[in-house]
Structure 1
């Protein structure tokens, strides 16, 4: 078992998805969430008076539920990630951060200008043991990591970067 007495952490990566997103996965999420929002917003704005998401929220505070209602459009896409945070790699270029929780939010949208549609998905990592901080790099391992036959614990090194942060800390 991992004998290190350092803190356990959970990382959060906030992936912002817009009309300029490059990867195919994000493009599919963008299209699906836009379509779902246009369907779901009819629950609150039956006369289609408000084109912008912010205006809809201002006039119908209950429309805050649209974040949840539209999130159903991303469930299948999130499952495709197989529990590994997208985009963030260790220093060797491998995607290694496991997650089981995520939060979806609509940032902006317009029913008359699709290109204004933007959403974010925040991925929360499984607990990780923080061993060391070296500059802007974190040396971490799974909290339940086991050592090999020689007593070594497998670790990975992640660079802190925009939209990636330590979201939770459990002191040692």
Structure 2
């Protein structure tokens, strides 16, 4: 049977409705950084929204990267585990190797319209089976226990969680 290695992605959307402290900090700091960085692209103060800047100002798509500096420290606080995705025992288990920040929308005069996403990409996992809405996986680099067993995680596919990539090997 072919070995199935998957990478899981999780898209965490953060907007004015968030209630968790970590999410609020990311929301407030990315908005402040957006307002700061947008000044360079909007020196005449002609545009109000991120969308208008991207549409009318060459190079404004760099704001994704420029504003991402505001989240790097917060992402480090996660200790390498994807937030919000829990195994069937209610524990964080999904290690990530990279993330990508994205500005979805923002308004220089209305913070309530600010919306960002952080896309997390897991380390490679062995996908053993699917049980109803659950995936049974193990860490690809995990060594078998002395008993020959491999420790696994059972987790439910939830909104914003996806199999990002699949690799089959014989």
- Fold agreement, TM-score > 0.5: yes
Q: What is the CA deviation profile of residues 103-160 of structure 1, one whole-angstrom value per residue up to 9, with x for unaligned ones?
A: 0000000011110000000000000000001111110001111111111110001100
**TM-score normalised by L of structure 1:** 0.96
Displacement over 6 Å in runs of 4+: none
Aligned with 2:59: secondary structure?
helix
Which consecutive unaligned segments of at least 5 residues does structure 2 have?
none
What is the RMSD computed on CA atoms of the aligned residues?
1.0
Task: Kindly tell me the number of residue pairs found equivalent between the two proteins.
Answer: 169
Residues in 1 aligned to 2:113 and 2:152: alpha-carbon distance in whole angstroms: 41
**TM-score normalised by L of structure 2:** 0.97
1:90 aligns with 2:87: yes
Which aligned pairs between 1:6-155 and structure 2 lie closer than 5 A? 6-155=3-152
> 1:5: Cα distance to partner?
4.0
Deviates more, 1:123-132 or 1:53-62: 53-62
Residues in 2 aligned to 1:123 and 1:86: alpha-carbon distance in whole angstroms: 9
